[in-house]
Amino acid sequence: MTRLFYSLLVSVAVASLAGCAKHGHEAGGGHVHKAPHGGTLLEVGAHAFNLEVVRDSAAGKLTVYVLDGHAENFVRIAARELQVTAYAGGERRVLALAPVANPATGETVGNTSQFEAQADWLKQSGALNGEIGPLEIRETKFPPVAFQLK
């Protein structure tokens, strides 16, 4: 009986670790998700969703993608804009990111996972801190999410 219990316990542990490895988890429960566009991932909710923030300093553009909890799939939302409050160069700046349609994926304004805006002050080098939101994703409301870009 003890041998059977031990074998069952080992089998469950191995299966759990294999499942985590598939989703980029480290042993011990740490999460290692990769941003699909090379940006900065921000967790929304208790591992419910992610935002990927991509700053293109040369173009002065900020793009935010809404992703699932493992940052593997895009999550379309109906927001008319994403509100960003940023602190750059010692100044508080507000930026409204517009929804982006993508005919290749069928995403439309009002049903998209991508939001972006352009502003000359985004061309400044250095850290960019702030928050995005509040957000509503799949009928759940979330408070603003803090970010820090280098």
Residue 30: band (very low, low, confident or very high) from pLDDT cuts 50, 70, 90: low
Q: What is the pLDDT of residue 9?
A: 38
Q: What is the pLDDT of residue 29?
A: 52
Determine the average pLDDT of the residues in 138-149: 94
What are 62-112's pLDDT values in tens digits? 999 999 999 999 999 999 999 999 998 788 999 999 999 988 889 999 999
- The secondary structure of 101-119 as a DSSP string is -BTTTTBBTTBBSEEEEE-
Please tell me the least confidently modeled range out of 10-24, 83-97, 131-145. Answer: 10-24
Of 14, 64, 15, 59, the C-alpha closest to 35 is 64
pTM metric for this prediction: 0.78
Q: What is the pLDDT of residue 27?
A: 44
Strands (E), the chain: 40-44, 49-56, 61-68, 82-88, 91-99, 114-118, 128-132, 135-137, 140-142, 145-149
Q: How many percent of the chain have pLDDT more than 90?
A: 63
Residue 3: band (very low, low, confident or very high) from pLDDT cuts 50, 70, 90: low
Determine the average pLDDT of the residues in 44-66: 94
Residue 10: band (very low, low, confident or very high) from pLDDT cuts 50, 70, 90: very low
How far does the chain reach from its first CA to its final CA, in angstroms? 57
